[in-house]
Amino acid sequence: MLRHHPPESDSPQPSARQVFVTGLRLKPRDRVVLARRLLASVERDPVADEEDAFDAMLLRRFEELRSGIVKGHTAEESLAIVRRGMRRKR
């Protein structure tokens, strides 16, 4: 079983080749666990990135409304704008 050991601050880091060669000596199950952990340490979560971007956009728009930079519409005004747009497409 792999155990987490924080890197020693005063010891030199092994090269990728050294880690690979050492990793090949592990049992297959441990190699899979190590590979997944290494991959997860560099992969980005696209869903989380999209959610973060959406949250940032919502906050930006809210601040624009609150500060008066942009003017909001009532529900009735919004529906009227959509209806006008739909009529133009026909």
Query: Would you give the end-to-end CA distance of the chain in angstroms?
Result: 66
What does the pLDDT read at residue 6? 56
- What's this model's pTM, rounded to 2 decimal places? 0.41
pLDDT of residue 39: 87
HSE-CB at 10 with a 13 A cutoff on CA atoms is: 0
Check pLDDT > 60 for residue 2.
no
Extract the tokens encoding 71. 């003017």
Q: How confident is the model at residue 47 (pLDDT cuts 50, 70, 90)?
A: confident
Residue 81 makes CB contacts below 8 A (sequence gap 6+) with 73
Token pair for 6: 């924080």
Q: Where are the domains of the chain?
A: 46-89
Nearest-5° angle of CA 23, CA 29, CA 32?
Answer: 65
Q: In the predicted model, what is the mean pLDDT of residues 18-39?
A: 92
